[in-house]
């Protein structure tokens, strides 16, 4: 009886901690959403009220009128999906080679992958910008996608996941006549679906929200991304219209929330299991 009471109390405490952490994470997003439904005088009023006196959608209409949201949103999604897909396509064979193939220098190669994780991406921005500028790729999707097509983190995650895959599966596939590409993409790829889904989600969120690199590489609205448009909302008018800025950020976050809703099952499986 005492043991059951102790277990019940521990469960209550654990649940309370999880709820508190969830509220801390969701609090800023809830505040942003509520602020987008207020008028500017309500936001500036002191003391501030947590809820709007009346729900206002004018900020969203203003965002849609000022910013070509559809084009910028499409650009952001295309860029993020292309980067995430390219990273997965290249991380699979790289991780496979480091986990399952025996060759001279494999340990050194893996060490270089780990070293790449320690190098800030900003260190490479100037030489990469110079190379892309010399190649005439400024203001193109190639300039936004290619520099991030190879992921050291993705290679590491795939390699670690493949270590738990029995070698007998690969040997059996080879005996059945499967080539290396068939083994990598047709057999091992589906087995690593949770890991790949987590990698896709991490990559998509990071590059979808990226502000600096699109700002550096683009000046043409045809290839600019939504985070740049949201930043421009701060410069509209004589002062910052915070309800409009918050509405833009809510719109910016919707694709990420939709992707998480779809991929959360795979993400949780990747976190709680090696494969």
pLDDT for 198-228, tens place per residue?
899 999 999 999 999 999 999 888 899 999 9
Higher pLDDT pick, 195 / 268: 195
Q: Which of 84, 82, 71 is nearest to 229 (CA)?
A: 71
Asked, for residue 30, whether it belongs to a domain, the answer is no
pLDDT in tens, 62-106: 888 888 888 999 999 999 999 999 999 999 999 999 999 999 999
DSSP 8-state secondary structure symbol assigned to residue 222? T
What is the average pLDDT value for the chain, to the nearest integer? 87
Low-confidence winner among 67-76, 81-90, 164-173, 238-247 (lowest mean pLDDT)? 238-247
- Could you give the residue ranges of the DSSP H alpha helices within the chain? 2-36, 40-44, 58-66, 69-100, 106-117, 125-134, 141-145, 152-162, 167-175, 180-181, 189-191, 193-208, 212-217, 226-232, 242-272
pLDDT band at 241 (very low <50, low <70, confident <90, very high): confident
Asked, for residue 46, whether it belongs to a domain, the answer is no
Section 147-161 average pLDDT: 94
Asked, for residue 182, whether it belongs to a domain, the answer is yes
Low-confidence winner among 1-10, 87-96, 151-160, 259-268 (lowest mean pLDDT)? 1-10
What pLDDT, on the 0 to 100 scale, is given for residue 72? 93
Asked, for residue 161, whether it belongs to a domain, the answer is yes
Asked, for residue 204, whether it belongs to a domain, the answer is yes
What pLDDT, on the 0 to 100 scale, is given for residue 23? 85
Q: Which domain range does residue 236 map to?
A: 60-272
Asked, for residue 25, whether it belongs to a domain, the answer is no
Q: How many domains does the chain have?
A: 1
Asked, for residue 1, whether it belongs to a domain, the answer is no
Asked, for residue 16, whether it belongs to a domain, the answer is no
Residue with tokens 């006549």: 177
């Amino acid at each position: 009886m005492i043991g059951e009471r102790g277990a019940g109390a521990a469960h209550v405490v654990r649940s309370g901690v999880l709820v508190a952490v969830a509220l801390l994470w969701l609090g800023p997003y809830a505040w942003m959403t509520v602020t987008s439904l207020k008028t500017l005088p309500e936001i500036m009023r002191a003391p501030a009220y947590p809820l709007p006196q009346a729900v206002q959608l004018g900020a969203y209409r203003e965002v849609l009128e000022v910013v070509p949201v559809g084009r910028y949103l499409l650009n952001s999604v295309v860029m993020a999906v292309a980067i995430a897909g390219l990273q997965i396509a290249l991380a699979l064979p790289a991780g496979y080679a480091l986990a399952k193939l025996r060759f001279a220098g494999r340990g050194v190669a893996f060490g270089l992958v780990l070293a790449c994780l320690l190098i800030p991406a900003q260190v490479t921005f100037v030489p990469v910008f110079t190379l892309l500028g010399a190649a005439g790729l400024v203001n193109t999707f190639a300039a936004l996608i290619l520099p991030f097509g190879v992921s050291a983190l993705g290679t590491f995650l795939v390699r670690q996941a493949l270590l738990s895959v029995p070698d007998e599966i690969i040997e059996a596939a080879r005996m059945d006549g499967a080539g290396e590409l068939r083994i990598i993409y047709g057999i091992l790829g589906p087995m690593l679906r949770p890991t790949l889904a987590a990698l896709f989600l991490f990559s998509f969120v990071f590059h979808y929200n990226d502000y600096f690199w699109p700002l550096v590489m683009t000046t043409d609205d045809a290839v600019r991304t939504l985070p740049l448009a949201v930043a421009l909302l701060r410069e509209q008018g004589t002062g910052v219209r915070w309800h409009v800025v918050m509405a833009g950020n809510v719109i910016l976050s919707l694709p990420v929330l939709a992707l998480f809703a779809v991929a959360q099952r795979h993400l949780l499986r990747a976190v709680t299991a090696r494969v």
